[in-house]
Chains A and B, each alone.
Chain A
Amino acid sequence: KAGVTQTPRYLIKTRGQQVTLSCSPISGHRSVSWYQQTPGQGLQFLFEYFSETQRNKGNFPGRFSGRQFSNSRSEMNVSTLELGDSALYLCASRSHRTSGGYEQYFGPGTRLTVT
């Protein structure tokens, strides 16, 4: 089975711009979560989507948003980029809760640099 894939792997943007990151979960997984990893704050939960609905949300400003499509692929959007948004953005997928669903598998991440 193919793992979680994320595109693009690297991205450089300028302050004030917006960015969209993409995540394709493991085949059959319907839940997708997003995390931000920075040296200062570590790994922080952004949000989780299941069946195209946001199920849980972390403590991030409204500039961070996401969505999930009917094929379970997910996108994350950050608007009005700030220097502090520079981070590794990780996507994770898991199967439906009724079949376990406690194991989250992570993709390689998208490295976003804001200049």
Chain B
Amino acid sequence: GEDVEQSLFLSVREGDSSVINCTYTDSSSTYLYWYKQEPGAGLQLLTYIFSNMDMKQDQRLTVLLNKKDKHLSLRIADTQTGDSAIYFCAVSYSSASKIIFGSGTRLSIRP
């Protein structure tokens, strides 16, 4: 069935790069997303990638997709305290109707 997995926690030093990893099981996933959730808030769409792409860069964010291994990663360059949040990896299919979310990775920043 559909499953998206990510590690629960990541701690990085301010100014370093953060890399959040995700694996998914369904190879027919068409759209792959990264969402950010800050305390008490909804989900903010950070970026997305189509399954026919390998990489997407958007300012400090770089998404890498390894379709063979069903592995998605999000790299945040020059991590700042404002990047502290929970990051959700998510996938959907051609209809983009239903999104399957991972459990979220809590990113904490050390001074």
Contacts and interface: CB of A to CB of B under 8 A. Distances in A.
Interface of A: 4, 31, 33, 35, 42-45, 48, 55-56, 58, 90, 92, 94, 97, 101-109
Categorize the interface residue count of chain B: 20 to 34
Q: How would you classify the secondary structure of chain A's contact residues: helix, strand, loop or mixed?
A: strand
Contact of B98 (A58, A106, A107, A109): A58
B98 A43 contact: no
Contacts, number: 55
A105 B98 contact: no
B41 A102 contact: no
A4 to B, nearest CB: 8
A45 B98 contact: yes
Given A33-B98, A43-B101, A105 B45 contact: yes
B45 A104 contact: yes
Nearest to A111: B40
